[in-house]
A and B are shown apart, each in its own frame.
Chain A
Amino acid sequence: MSMFSIFNVSGSAISAQSQRLNVVASNLANADAVAGPDGQGYKGRQVVFETVPMGSDASAGVKVSSVRESSEPLRKVHNPSHPSADAEGYVTQSNVNPVEEMVNMISASRSYQNNVEVMNTAKTLLLKTLQMGQ
């Protein structure tokens, strides 16, 4: 196998990282969401990465094997004037920690950039290989 499989490997990583970014966006968007009438608030989600062998020993891609919901307890805020407050005046909110999500977002975007750079370098090298002997 030639260097072309770099595009498959880095492409799988880019798609996995963008899925991670998607989940982070969804978590951040719902960070302040309050629970509905059923009392079930939004639970933060995390992607789980897994290595995918691609053809040979040397190339290994990534995929998102599952998206898991956080098991942390939902946040309860005392706000008796809120329309969704319960009998004791508590409002149930999501269990998302915005700081953790921001860190996750930066990490995902850096990894994405890394893989784009890898693809660009591989493309340059392959184009130069095409010009061999000219």
Chain B
Amino acid sequence: MFASLTSGLDFQSKALVLRAERQRTIASNIANADTPGYVARDIDFKAAMASATSGSSIAASKSTSTTSGVTHPGHIPLAENGVGSLGNGSKLGYAAQSQPSMDGNSVDLDRERANFVDNSVRYEATLRFINGQSKTILSAIQGQ
């Protein structure tokens, strides 16, 4: 019962971790905007999110068969694709080069800045979803 209560939170927390990861990647791109030969990286959020959520469903299906290192049926199994790790699905892609330059640097600073702002707004949105859901759960628990 509790799992169904927090499954929405689980989803949002995965999204939050992915957003943080993407923020880090974009920050690296902006930091290396003047480095010769640097190739801009980016995360395909949709694909990464799909692989993160499918990983959790695999872990959930495993928990029913109680095979993944659980010594007691009442124990909560460790998710293989936990919140802290992103699994194998979050492979970094390469951003397409818009204006080729002589030094081999493929960072488009305008695009990176736009991505950075976009990603930070979405990060904040995810945070608000989490806050709202946890408030909902809390008020359900307290019954007030």
> Which residues of A come within 8 Å of B, CB atoms?
1-3, 5-6, 9-10, 12-13, 17, 20, 48-51, 54, 57-62, 107-108, 111, 114-115, 118, 121-122, 124-125, 128-129, 132-134
Nearest B residue to A17, CB-CB: B34
Cβ contacts B101-133/A at 8 Å (1 or 0 each): 000000001000100110010011001001100
Residues of the B chain whose Cβ atoms lie less than 8 Å from the Cβ of A121: 116-117, 120
Partner of A58, one of B37, B92, B117, B130: B92
A13 touching B30, Cβ below 8 Å: yes
Cβ of A57 and Cβ of B34 under 8 Å apart? no
* A20–B34 CA distance with the chains assembled, in angstroms: 11
Which residues of B approach A to under 8 Å, CB–CB? 16, 20-21, 23-25, 27-28, 30-38, 41, 43, 92, 109, 113, 116-117, 120, 123-124, 127, 130-131, 134
Question: Are B31 and A115 closer than 8 Å at their CB atoms?
Answer: yes
Known: A58-B25, A114-B30, A122-B27. 7 other contacts (CB 8 A): A1-B24, A10-B30, A12-B31, A58-B24, A118-B27, A121-B120, A122-B23
Partner of A6, one of B27, B41, B134: B27
Of all chain A residues, which has the CB nearest B13? A132
Contact B30 A125 (CB under 8 A): no
**Complexed CA–CA distance, A3 and B124 (Å):** 14
Q: Which residue of B lies closest to A55 (CB)?
A: B24
Please indicate the chain A residues that have their CB under 8 angstroms from the CB of B120 in the complex.
121, 124-125
Q: Please state if B35 and A62 are interface contacts (CB–CB under 8 Å).
A: yes
Given A118-B27, A133-B131: A125 touches B123 (CB 8 Å cut-off): yes
A77 to chain B, nearest CB (A): 32
CB distance from B103 to the nearest CB of A (A): 10
A61 with B31, Cβ < 8 A, contacts A51-B38, A132-B131 known = yes
Q: Which residues of A contact B25 (CB under 8 A)?
A: 58-59
What are 14 A-B pairs with beta-carbon distances under 8 A?
A3-B20, A3-B23, A9-B24, A9-B28, A17-B34, A49-B35, A51-B35, A51-B37, A59-B27, A111-B34, A125-B20, A125-B123, A129-B16, A133-B130
